[in-house]
Amino acid sequence: MTEVTFSRRRLLFGGAALLAASPLRAMAQGAGPSIHVLKDPNCGCCGSWIEILEGRGFRVTTEPGAGTLLMNYKAANGIPQEMVSCHTARVEGYMIEGHVPVADIRRLLDERPDAVGLAVPGMPYGSPGMGPESEREAYEVFLIRGDGSTEVYTSYAAG
């Protein structure tokens, strides 16, 4: 049988290794971007989208809002009527409307275009939080410009 002894050097090295790894653990537990979501408190698909964000490292806060309150919030923050979906979020100064995939949100935050934000209008089946991706219908993520114009940011083919 091998006897293990702990020297001061081994103990310090082990402690330093744990300390170095702690930022990675913190990122996995939601130390990423903070995102605030205004949503109908009774909407299950919004909750599913939020779970996906949290699983990918976002720190999510939510606020209940429905009907006129939610629609006024969208309009006041530059979301055109034709881009509306079920929930609206704000992350680092950008608006995120609907079931936008995490990869597109991260790309937006990396590229930092001069824009209001991103939108997935409606609630396309298979978009994040709306059913299995393997059975999704084709949909597009739109970039919303400050003047209200939109352009396709990403296209997703049917699964």
pLDDT in single tens digits along all 159 residues of the chain: 555 454 544 434 444 443 444 344 344 444 789 999 999 888 888 899 999 999 999 999 999 988 899 999 999 999 999 999 999 999 999 999 999 999 999 999 999 999 999 999 999 999 999 999 899 999 999 999 999 999 999 999 998
Query: How confident is the model at residue 67, as a pLDDT?
Result: 86
Query: Domain boundaries in the chain?
Result: 32-156
Architecture of domain 32-156: 3-Layer(aba) Sandwich (3.40)
Query: How confident is the model at residue 45, as a pLDDT?
Result: 86
Query: How confident is the model at residue 23, as a pLDDT?
Result: 44
In the block, which residue shows the tokens 């744990």?
18
Query: How confident is the model at residue 42, as a pLDDT?
Result: 82
Contact 118, 94 (CB under 8 A): yes
How far is the C-alpha of 79 from the C-alpha of 73, rounded, in Å?
A: 9
How far is the C-alpha of 124 from the C-alpha of 118, rounded, in Å?
A: 15
Query: How confident is the model at residue 3, as a pLDDT?
Result: 55
pTM over 0.95: no
